[in-house]
Amino acid sequence: MDIFVIQGGKPLEGTVRTAGAKNSVLPILAAALLTEETLSLENVPDLSDVRTMLRILEMLGAEVEHTGPNRLDIRSRPSAQPVAPWELVRKMRASFEVFGPLLGRRGRAEVSYPGGCSIGVRPVDAHIRGFEALGAKIRTQEGYVVAEAPPEGLPGGEAYLATSSGSSVGATRNVMMAAVLARGRSVLTCAACEPEVVDLADCLNAMGAKVHGAGSPTIEIQGVEALHGAKHSVIPDRIEAGTYVVAGAITGGRVRVEGCRPEHLTALLDALYRSGVGIERGRDWIETQPRDIHKERLRPTDITTQPYPGFPTDLQAQWMVLMTLADGVSVITERIFPDRYMHLAELLRLGARIRRQETAAVVEGVASLSGASIMASDLRASAALVLAGLVSKGQTQVHRVYHIDRGYERIEERLENMGGSIRRESVAVEGQSAPG
Protein backbone atom coordinates (compact mmCIF):
# COMPACT_ATOMS: atom_id res chain seq x y z
CA MET A 1 0.00 0.00 0.00
CA ASP A 2 1.31 3.47 -0.89
CA ILE A 3 1.73 6.38 1.49
CA PHE A 4 2.91 9.96 1.08
CA VAL A 5 5.82 11.11 3.23
CA ILE A 6 5.82 14.90 3.50
CA GLN A 7 8.34 17.21 5.10
CA GLY A 8 6.46 20.41 5.79
CA GLY A 9 7.42 24.04 6.05
CA LYS A 10 8.44 24.88 2.50
CA PRO A 11 6.46 27.48 0.50
CA LEU A 12 5.52 26.26 -2.94
CA GLU A 13 6.85 28.18 -5.93
CA GLY A 14 6.13 27.44 -9.55
CA THR A 15 3.57 26.61 -12.19
CA VAL A 16 1.17 23.70 -12.48
CA ARG A 17 -1.16 22.93 -15.37
CA THR A 18 -4.72 21.83 -14.74
CA ALA A 19 -5.71 18.37 -15.95
CA GLY A 20 -9.05 17.42 -17.46
CA ALA A 21 -12.02 17.37 -15.11
CA LYS A 22 -12.69 14.04 -13.41
CA ASN A 23 -16.34 14.92 -12.91
CA SER A 24 -16.69 15.72 -16.62
CA VAL A 25 -14.76 12.90 -18.20
CA LEU A 26 -16.53 10.03 -16.41
CA PRO A 27 -20.04 10.74 -17.77
CA ILE A 28 -18.57 11.71 -21.14
CA LEU A 29 -16.88 8.31 -21.30
CA ALA A 30 -20.26 6.74 -20.54
CA ALA A 31 -21.78 8.78 -23.38
CA ALA A 32 -19.70 6.73 -25.82
CA LEU A 33 -22.25 3.94 -25.25
CA LEU A 34 -24.86 6.07 -27.07
CA THR A 35 -23.41 5.49 -30.54
CA GLU A 36 -21.72 2.82 -32.64
CA GLU A 37 -19.38 5.42 -34.10
CA THR A 38 -16.11 6.63 -32.59
CA LEU A 39 -16.03 9.21 -29.85
CA SER A 40 -12.58 10.85 -29.77
CA LEU A 41 -11.68 12.57 -26.51
CA GLU A 42 -8.83 14.91 -25.62
CA ASN A 43 -7.62 16.19 -22.24
CA VAL A 44 -8.52 12.89 -20.55
CA PRO A 45 -6.85 12.81 -17.11
CA ASP A 46 -4.79 9.78 -16.07
CA LEU A 47 -6.78 8.73 -12.99
CA SER A 48 -7.70 5.44 -11.38
CA ASP A 49 -11.40 6.38 -11.71
CA VAL A 50 -10.93 6.81 -15.47
CA ARG A 51 -9.30 3.40 -15.71
CA THR A 52 -12.19 1.87 -13.77
CA MET A 53 -14.75 3.47 -16.09
CA LEU A 54 -12.87 2.23 -19.15
CA ARG A 55 -12.93 -1.32 -17.78
CA ILE A 56 -16.70 -1.03 -17.30
CA LEU A 57 -17.13 0.25 -20.87
CA GLU A 58 -15.04 -2.64 -22.21
CA MET A 59 -17.22 -5.11 -20.30
CA LEU A 60 -20.22 -3.47 -21.98
CA GLY A 61 -18.74 -3.99 -25.43
CA ALA A 62 -16.73 -0.83 -26.02
CA GLU A 63 -13.36 -0.82 -27.76
CA VAL A 64 -10.87 1.65 -26.29
CA GLU A 65 -7.76 2.90 -28.07
CA HIS A 66 -5.20 5.23 -26.50
CA THR A 67 -4.24 7.52 -29.37
CA GLY A 68 -1.76 9.74 -27.53
CA PRO A 69 -1.10 11.45 -24.20
CA ASN A 70 -4.49 12.10 -22.59
CA ARG A 71 -6.32 11.06 -25.78
CA LEU A 72 -8.77 8.21 -26.31
CA ASP A 73 -10.93 6.78 -29.07
CA ILE A 74 -13.95 4.76 -27.94
CA ARG A 75 -16.33 2.75 -30.08
CA SER A 76 -19.24 0.81 -28.63
CA ARG A 77 -20.41 -2.40 -30.27
CA PRO A 78 -24.21 -2.91 -30.18
CA SER A 79 -24.18 -6.60 -29.28
CA ALA A 80 -22.95 -6.50 -25.68
CA GLN A 81 -25.28 -7.21 -22.77
CA PRO A 82 -26.44 -4.02 -20.99
CA VAL A 83 -25.30 -5.19 -17.53
CA ALA A 84 -22.78 -3.37 -15.32
CA PRO A 85 -21.66 -5.71 -12.53
CA TRP A 86 -21.14 -5.02 -8.86
CA GLU A 87 -17.46 -6.00 -9.03
CA LEU A 88 -16.63 -2.79 -10.91
CA VAL A 89 -19.54 -0.47 -10.12
CA ARG A 90 -18.85 -0.80 -6.39
CA LYS A 91 -15.52 1.00 -6.85
CA MET A 92 -16.95 4.41 -7.69
CA ARG A 93 -20.29 6.10 -7.67
CA ALA A 94 -19.95 7.72 -11.11
CA SER A 95 -20.05 4.29 -12.75
CA PHE A 96 -23.83 4.33 -12.20
CA GLU A 97 -23.95 6.88 -15.02
CA VAL A 98 -23.68 4.14 -17.63
CA PHE A 99 -27.35 3.52 -16.77
CA GLY A 100 -28.75 6.38 -18.86
CA PRO A 101 -26.82 5.55 -22.05
CA LEU A 102 -27.69 1.84 -21.78
CA LEU A 103 -31.37 2.56 -21.23
CA GLY A 104 -31.53 5.21 -23.94
CA ARG A 105 -29.76 3.26 -26.68
CA ARG A 106 -30.52 -0.38 -25.86
CA GLY A 107 -33.87 -0.03 -24.13
CA ARG A 108 -32.72 -1.93 -21.05
CA ALA A 109 -30.19 -1.42 -18.28
CA GLU A 110 -29.12 -3.52 -15.33
CA VAL A 111 -26.63 -1.76 -13.10
CA SER A 112 -25.48 -2.51 -9.59
CA TYR A 113 -26.05 0.03 -6.86
CA PRO A 114 -22.88 2.15 -6.83
CA GLY A 115 -20.00 2.48 -4.40
CA GLY A 116 -17.41 5.23 -3.95
CA CYS A 117 -16.23 7.52 -1.16
CA SER A 118 -17.54 7.27 2.39
CA ILE A 119 -18.93 10.79 2.71
CA GLY A 120 -22.48 9.98 3.78
CA VAL A 121 -25.63 8.62 2.23
CA ARG A 122 -25.84 9.37 -1.51
CA PRO A 123 -28.94 7.60 -2.83
CA VAL A 124 -29.81 7.19 -6.51
CA ASP A 125 -33.50 7.98 -5.98
CA ALA A 126 -33.37 11.07 -8.20
CA HIS A 127 -31.87 9.01 -11.03
CA ILE A 128 -34.65 6.42 -10.75
CA ARG A 129 -37.40 9.05 -10.59
CA GLY A 130 -35.94 10.67 -13.68
CA PHE A 131 -35.87 7.44 -15.68
CA GLU A 132 -39.45 6.68 -14.65
CA ALA A 133 -40.49 10.15 -15.78
CA LEU A 134 -39.04 9.37 -19.23
CA GLY A 135 -41.23 6.27 -19.43
CA ALA A 136 -39.03 3.44 -18.11
CA LYS A 137 -40.23 0.66 -15.84
CA ILE A 138 -37.86 0.27 -12.87
CA ARG A 139 -37.37 -2.54 -10.38
CA THR A 140 -34.66 -3.64 -7.99
CA GLN A 141 -33.34 -7.16 -8.11
CA GLU A 142 -30.57 -8.71 -6.01
CA GLY A 143 -28.70 -5.43 -5.51
CA TYR A 144 -29.20 -4.24 -9.08
CA VAL A 145 -31.41 -1.51 -10.53
CA VAL A 146 -33.14 -2.88 -13.63
CA ALA A 147 -34.92 -0.63 -16.13
CA GLU A 148 -36.79 -1.39 -19.32
CA ALA A 149 -38.12 0.99 -21.94
CA PRO A 150 -41.31 0.30 -23.94
CA PRO A 151 -40.70 -1.74 -27.13
CA GLU A 152 -40.88 1.41 -29.23
CA GLY A 153 -38.39 3.23 -26.99
CA LEU A 154 -38.58 5.84 -24.24
CA PRO A 155 -41.31 8.39 -24.95
CA GLY A 156 -39.63 11.19 -22.97
CA GLY A 157 -41.24 13.32 -20.30
CA GLU A 158 -40.72 15.89 -17.57
CA ALA A 159 -38.28 14.91 -14.80
CA TYR A 160 -37.93 16.78 -11.51
CA LEU A 161 -34.39 16.23 -10.19
CA ALA A 162 -34.32 17.97 -6.81
CA THR A 163 -33.04 16.25 -3.68
CA SER A 164 -32.87 17.32 -0.04
CA SER A 165 -29.41 18.78 -0.77
CA GLY A 166 -30.39 20.59 -3.97
CA SER A 167 -30.16 19.54 -7.59
CA SER A 168 -28.48 16.20 -8.27
CA VAL A 169 -25.52 16.52 -10.62
CA GLY A 170 -25.30 12.79 -11.27
CA ALA A 171 -29.03 12.44 -11.91
CA THR A 172 -29.02 15.43 -14.26
CA ARG A 173 -26.27 13.90 -16.37
CA ASN A 174 -27.66 10.37 -16.28
CA VAL A 175 -31.23 11.29 -17.19
CA MET A 176 -29.99 13.71 -19.87
CA MET A 177 -28.10 10.87 -21.55
CA ALA A 178 -31.19 8.64 -21.52
CA ALA A 179 -33.36 11.42 -22.93
CA VAL A 180 -31.25 12.26 -25.99
CA LEU A 181 -32.51 9.13 -27.80
CA ALA A 182 -36.12 9.30 -26.53
CA ARG A 183 -38.89 9.50 -29.12
CA GLY A 184 -40.18 12.86 -27.90
CA ARG A 185 -39.32 15.98 -25.94
CA SER A 186 -38.03 15.85 -22.38
CA VAL A 187 -37.71 18.62 -19.81
CA LEU A 188 -35.41 18.33 -16.79
CA THR A 189 -36.45 20.76 -14.05
CA CYS A 190 -34.38 21.67 -11.01
CA ALA A 191 -31.42 20.47 -13.06
CA ALA A 192 -27.87 20.92 -11.79
CA CYS A 193 -26.02 23.91 -13.26
CA GLU A 194 -22.43 22.72 -12.79
CA PRO A 195 -19.88 23.28 -15.58
CA GLU A 196 -19.50 19.50 -15.83
CA VAL A 197 -23.17 19.24 -16.86
CA VAL A 198 -22.57 21.85 -19.56
CA ASP A 199 -19.47 19.98 -20.76
CA LEU A 200 -21.46 16.76 -21.14
CA ALA A 201 -24.23 18.59 -23.00
CA ASP A 202 -21.66 20.10 -25.36
CA CYS A 203 -20.26 16.64 -26.08
CA LEU A 204 -23.74 15.18 -26.66
CA ASN A 205 -24.64 18.03 -29.02
CA ALA A 206 -21.41 17.42 -30.94
CA MET A 207 -22.66 13.84 -31.34
CA GLY A 208 -25.93 15.06 -32.82
CA ALA A 209 -28.13 15.45 -29.74
CA LYS A 210 -30.47 18.40 -29.25
CA VAL A 211 -29.88 19.59 -25.69
CA HIS A 212 -30.78 23.17 -24.78
CA GLY A 213 -30.44 25.10 -21.53
CA ALA A 214 -27.56 23.20 -19.90
CA GLY A 215 -26.11 25.38 -17.16
CA SER A 216 -29.59 26.56 -16.13
CA PRO A 217 -32.18 24.87 -13.85
CA THR A 218 -34.27 23.84 -16.86
CA ILE A 219 -32.85 21.65 -19.63
CA GLU A 220 -34.91 20.82 -22.71
CA ILE A 221 -34.04 17.82 -24.86
CA GLN A 222 -35.54 16.87 -28.18
CA GLY A 223 -34.87 13.19 -28.76
CA VAL A 224 -33.18 12.13 -31.98
CA GLU A 225 -33.14 8.79 -33.77
CA ALA A 226 -29.38 8.20 -33.43
CA LEU A 227 -26.14 9.85 -32.39
CA HIS A 228 -22.90 9.81 -34.37
CA GLY A 229 -19.21 10.02 -33.57
CA ALA A 230 -17.55 13.27 -32.55
CA LYS A 231 -14.42 14.89 -31.17
CA HIS A 232 -14.49 16.59 -27.79
CA SER A 233 -11.96 18.10 -25.38
CA VAL A 234 -12.75 17.74 -21.66
CA ILE A 235 -12.87 20.99 -19.67
CA PRO A 236 -10.20 21.72 -17.02
CA ASP A 237 -10.81 20.36 -13.53
CA ARG A 238 -11.98 23.26 -11.36
CA ILE A 239 -11.56 21.24 -8.15
CA GLU A 240 -7.98 20.28 -8.96
CA ALA A 241 -7.24 23.89 -9.89
CA GLY A 242 -8.81 25.11 -6.66
CA THR A 243 -6.79 22.60 -4.64
CA TYR A 244 -3.51 23.90 -6.07
CA VAL A 245 -4.59 27.50 -5.50
CA VAL A 246 -5.26 26.69 -1.84
CA ALA A 247 -1.89 24.89 -1.70
CA GLY A 248 -0.20 28.11 -2.75
CA ALA A 249 -2.23 30.12 -0.25
CA ILE A 250 -1.60 27.83 2.71
CA THR A 251 2.17 27.60 2.17
CA GLY A 252 2.56 31.30 1.41
CA GLY A 253 4.09 30.62 -1.98
CA ARG A 254 3.69 31.98 -5.49
CA VAL A 255 1.78 29.25 -7.31
CA ARG A 256 0.48 29.81 -10.81
CA VAL A 257 -2.27 27.44 -11.91
CA GLU A 258 -2.53 27.48 -15.70
CA GLY A 259 -5.02 26.01 -18.14
CA CYS A 260 -7.93 26.55 -15.76
CA ARG A 261 -11.16 28.55 -16.00
CA PRO A 262 -11.22 31.15 -13.21
CA GLU A 263 -14.92 31.84 -13.87
CA HIS A 264 -15.63 28.33 -12.56
CA LEU A 265 -14.03 29.24 -9.20
CA THR A 266 -15.61 32.58 -8.34
CA ALA A 267 -16.86 31.41 -4.92
CA LEU A 268 -13.40 30.17 -3.91
CA LEU A 269 -11.65 33.28 -5.21
CA ASP A 270 -14.10 35.49 -3.32
CA ALA A 271 -13.44 33.57 -0.09
CA LEU A 272 -9.67 33.82 -0.63
CA TYR A 273 -9.98 37.58 -1.17
CA ARG A 274 -11.98 37.94 2.05
CA SER A 275 -9.39 35.92 3.97
CA GLY A 276 -6.52 38.15 2.82
CA VAL A 277 -4.84 35.90 0.25
CA GLY A 278 -3.27 37.85 -2.58
CA ILE A 279 -4.57 36.59 -5.92
CA GLU A 280 -3.94 37.57 -9.50
CA ARG A 281 -5.87 36.04 -12.38
CA GLY A 282 -6.05 36.05 -16.15
CA ARG A 283 -8.21 34.47 -18.80
CA ASP A 284 -6.97 30.95 -18.07
CA TRP A 285 -4.72 31.23 -15.01
CA ILE A 286 -4.76 32.04 -11.28
CA GLU A 287 -1.70 32.94 -9.22
CA THR A 288 -1.30 33.20 -5.45
CA GLN A 289 0.98 35.95 -4.15
CA PRO A 290 3.76 35.18 -1.64
CA ARG A 291 3.47 36.04 2.03
CA ASP A 292 5.18 35.13 5.31
CA ILE A 293 2.61 32.75 6.80
CA HIS A 294 4.04 33.23 10.32
CA LYS A 295 3.83 37.03 10.27
CA GLU A 296 0.83 37.53 7.98
CA ARG A 297 -1.87 35.19 9.25
CA LEU A 298 -5.10 35.08 7.29
CA ARG A 299 -8.44 36.46 8.39
CA PRO A 300 -10.98 33.84 9.51
CA THR A 301 -13.58 33.48 6.78
CA ASP A 302 -16.88 31.60 6.94
CA ILE A 303 -18.07 29.55 3.98
CA THR A 304 -21.16 27.46 3.24
CA THR A 305 -21.07 24.77 0.58
CA GLN A 306 -23.80 25.10 -2.02
CA PRO A 307 -24.62 23.86 -5.52
CA TYR A 308 -22.79 25.68 -8.33
CA PRO A 309 -22.02 28.58 -8.51
CA GLY A 310 -21.77 28.43 -4.71
CA PHE A 311 -18.75 27.21 -2.78
CA PRO A 312 -18.01 23.62 -3.91
CA THR A 313 -18.39 20.81 -1.41
CA ASP A 314 -15.34 19.25 -3.09
CA LEU A 315 -13.20 22.15 -1.79
CA GLN A 316 -14.62 22.19 1.74
CA ALA A 317 -11.89 20.02 3.27
CA GLN A 318 -9.12 22.04 1.61
CA TRP A 319 -10.66 25.26 2.90
CA MET A 320 -10.83 23.83 6.41
CA VAL A 321 -7.08 23.23 6.34
CA LEU A 322 -6.48 26.85 5.31
CA MET A 323 -8.68 28.10 8.15
CA THR A 324 -6.82 26.01 10.76
CA LEU A 325 -4.04 28.60 10.46
CA ALA A 326 -6.20 31.74 10.31
CA ASP A 327 -6.06 34.33 13.08
CA GLY A 328 -9.42 33.69 14.70
CA VAL A 329 -12.56 31.55 14.49
CA SER A 330 -14.26 30.57 11.24
CA VAL A 331 -17.38 28.50 10.60
CA ILE A 332 -17.66 26.01 7.75
CA THR A 333 -21.18 24.79 6.98
CA GLU A 334 -21.72 21.72 4.80
CA ARG A 335 -25.06 21.86 2.97
CA ILE A 336 -24.42 19.20 0.30
CA PHE A 337 -23.10 16.20 2.27
CA PRO A 338 -23.70 16.93 5.98
CA ASP A 339 -21.45 14.04 7.08
CA ARG A 340 -18.46 15.12 5.00
CA TYR A 341 -16.20 15.77 7.96
CA MET A 342 -14.12 12.60 8.16
CA HIS A 343 -10.95 14.65 7.70
CA LEU A 344 -11.69 16.60 10.88
CA ALA A 345 -10.35 13.96 13.28
CA GLU A 346 -7.12 13.63 11.27
CA LEU A 347 -6.55 17.39 11.35
CA LEU A 348 -6.89 17.27 15.14
CA ARG A 349 -3.96 14.85 15.16
CA LEU A 350 -1.88 17.59 13.53
CA GLY A 351 -2.80 20.09 16.24
CA ALA A 352 -5.80 21.81 14.67
CA ARG A 353 -8.62 23.06 16.88
CA ILE A 354 -11.94 22.14 15.31
CA ARG A 355 -15.28 21.08 16.73
CA ARG A 356 -18.30 19.90 14.85
CA GLN A 357 -21.77 21.28 15.50
CA GLU A 358 -24.28 19.27 13.44
CA THR A 359 -23.70 20.33 9.81
CA ALA A 360 -21.08 22.95 10.72
CA ALA A 361 -17.45 22.87 11.79
CA VAL A 362 -16.09 25.62 14.03
CA VAL A 363 -12.38 26.17 13.33
CA GLU A 364 -10.22 28.06 15.82
CA GLY A 365 -7.01 29.00 14.07
CA VAL A 366 -3.65 28.01 15.55
CA ALA A 367 -0.17 29.38 14.96
CA SER A 368 1.13 26.15 13.43
CA LEU A 369 0.45 22.47 12.79
CA SER A 370 2.83 19.61 13.54
CA GLY A 371 3.40 16.46 11.53
CA ALA A 372 1.94 13.06 12.39
CA SER A 373 0.70 9.86 10.75
CA ILE A 374 -2.80 10.43 9.37
CA MET A 375 -5.33 8.40 7.42
CA ALA A 376 -7.19 9.50 4.29
CA SER A 377 -10.86 8.55 4.13
CA ASP A 378 -12.03 9.88 0.76
CA LEU A 379 -10.78 11.68 -2.32
CA ARG A 380 -11.03 15.32 -1.25
CA ALA A 381 -10.08 14.60 2.37
CA SER A 382 -6.90 13.05 0.97
CA ALA A 383 -6.05 16.25 -0.87
CA ALA A 384 -6.74 18.31 2.24
CA LEU A 385 -4.45 16.13 4.38
CA VAL A 386 -1.65 16.50 1.82
CA LEU A 387 -2.03 20.29 2.02
CA ALA A 388 -1.92 20.08 5.80
CA GLY A 389 1.27 18.02 5.58
CA LEU A 390 2.90 20.63 3.35
CA VAL A 391 2.50 23.29 6.02
CA SER A 392 3.04 21.19 9.17
CA LYS A 393 6.27 21.24 11.14
CA GLY A 394 8.23 18.02 10.79
CA GLN A 395 7.18 14.90 8.92
CA THR A 396 3.66 13.84 8.01
CA GLN A 397 2.72 10.43 6.65
CA VAL A 398 -0.57 10.24 4.75
CA HIS A 399 -1.91 6.70 4.49
CA ARG A 400 -4.44 5.27 1.99
CA VAL A 401 -3.38 7.60 -0.81
CA TYR A 402 -5.19 5.39 -3.32
CA HIS A 403 -8.11 7.70 -2.60
CA ILE A 404 -6.25 10.70 -4.00
CA ASP A 405 -5.22 8.78 -7.14
CA ARG A 406 -8.93 8.67 -8.03
CA GLY A 407 -9.02 12.38 -8.76
CA TYR A 408 -5.52 13.91 -8.92
CA GLU A 409 -3.01 13.08 -11.62
CA ARG A 410 0.42 12.41 -10.04
CA ILE A 411 -0.13 15.01 -7.35
CA GLU A 412 3.14 14.22 -5.56
CA GLU A 413 5.21 14.85 -8.71
CA ARG A 414 3.47 18.13 -9.42
CA LEU A 415 3.87 19.40 -5.85
CA GLU A 416 7.51 18.31 -5.82
CA ASN A 417 8.10 20.27 -9.04
CA MET A 418 6.96 23.37 -7.14
CA GLY A 419 9.34 22.76 -4.24
CA GLY A 420 7.23 20.62 -1.98
CA SER A 421 9.02 17.86 -0.07
CA ILE A 422 6.74 14.91 -0.79
CA ARG A 423 7.42 11.38 -1.93
CA ARG A 424 5.40 8.23 -2.47
CA GLU A 425 6.49 5.09 -0.65
CA SER A 426 5.18 1.54 -0.62
CA VAL A 427 4.73 0.05 2.82
CA ALA A 428 3.82 -3.44 3.92
CA VAL A 429 0.32 -4.15 5.17
CA GLU A 430 -0.49 -6.92 7.59
CA GLY A 431 0.21 -10.28 6.00
CA GLN A 432 2.03 -8.78 2.99
CA SER A 433 5.47 -7.53 2.07
CA ALA A 434 6.23 -4.22 0.44
CA PRO A 435 7.11 -4.66 -3.23
CA GLY A 436 10.82 -4.46 -3.99
Point out the residues that are catalytic: 117
Q: Is 82 found in the same domain as 217? A: yes
Q: Is 359 found in the same domain as 240? A: yes
6 within some domain:
yes
Longest dimension (CA), the chain: 70
Q: Is 39 found in the same domain as 177? A: yes
Q: Is 263 found in the same domain as 116? A: no
378 within some domain:
yes
**Is pLDDT above 50 for 307?**
yes
Domains of the chain: total: 2
Q: Is 243 found in the same domain as 191? A: no
Q: 20 and 407 in contact (C-beta within 8 Å)?
A: no
Going 72 to 76 to 77 to 82, the CA torsion angle's sign is positive
Between strands 2-7 and 395-399, the pairing is antiparallel
180 within some domain:
yes
Q: Is 182 found in the same domain as 87? A: yes
Phi, psi of 198 (to 5 degrees): -65, -40
Q: Is 185 found in the same domain as 101? A: yes
DSSP 128-163: HHHHHHTT-EEEEETTEEEEE--TT-----EEE-EE
For 65, other C-beta atoms within 10 Å of its C-beta total 11
432 within some domain:
no
433 within some domain:
no
For 193, other C-beta atoms within 10 Å of its C-beta total 19
Per DSSP, the three-state class of 41 is strand
Q: For 230-255, how does the pLDDT look when each residue is reduced to its tens digit (9 = 90+)?
A: 999 999 999 999 999 999 999 999 99
Q: Is 248 found in the same domain as 213? A: no
> What is the value of pTM for the model shown?
0.94
Q: Is 240 found in the same domain as 109? A: no
436 within some domain:
no
Percent of the chain with pLDDT over 70: 94
* pLDDT grade for 115, boundaries at 50, 70 and 90: low
Question: How many residues are there in the chain?
Answer: 436
Count of helix runs (H) and strand runs (E) in the chain: 14, 26
* CA nearest to 100, candidates 16, 34, 196: 34
List C-alpha distances in Å: 261 to 55, 65, 135, 241, 361. Answer: 30, 29, 38, 9, 29
CATH number at residue 203: 3.65.10.10
Of 88-92, 93-97, 263-267, 278-282, the range with the lowest mean pLDDT is: 88-92
In angstroms, the CA 423 to CA 2 distance is 10
Q: Is 188 found in the same domain as 76? A: yes
DSSP 166-206: EE-HHHHHHHHHHHTTSSSEEEEES----HHHHHHHHHHHH
Q: Is 97 found in the same domain as 226? A: yes
287 within some domain:
yes
Last residue of a domain, one of 208, 233, 258: 233
DSSP 286-331: EEEPP--TTTSPPPP--EEB-STTSB-GGGHHHHHHHHTTSSSEEE
Domain that holds residue 284: 2-19+236-426
435 within some domain:
no
Last residue of a domain, one of 201, 233, 265: 233
Phi, psi of 46 (to 5 degrees): -90, 90
Last residue of a domain, one of 233, 256, 277: 233
What's the Rg (C-alpha) of the chain? 22
Q: What is the mean pLDDT of the chain?
A: 93
* pLDDT grade for 435, boundaries at 50, 70 and 90: very low
Q: For 309-352, how does the pLDDT look when each residue is reduced to its tens digit (9 = 90+)?
A: 999 999 999 999 999 999 999 999 999 988 899 999 999 999 99
Q: Is 147 found in the same domain as 68? A: yes
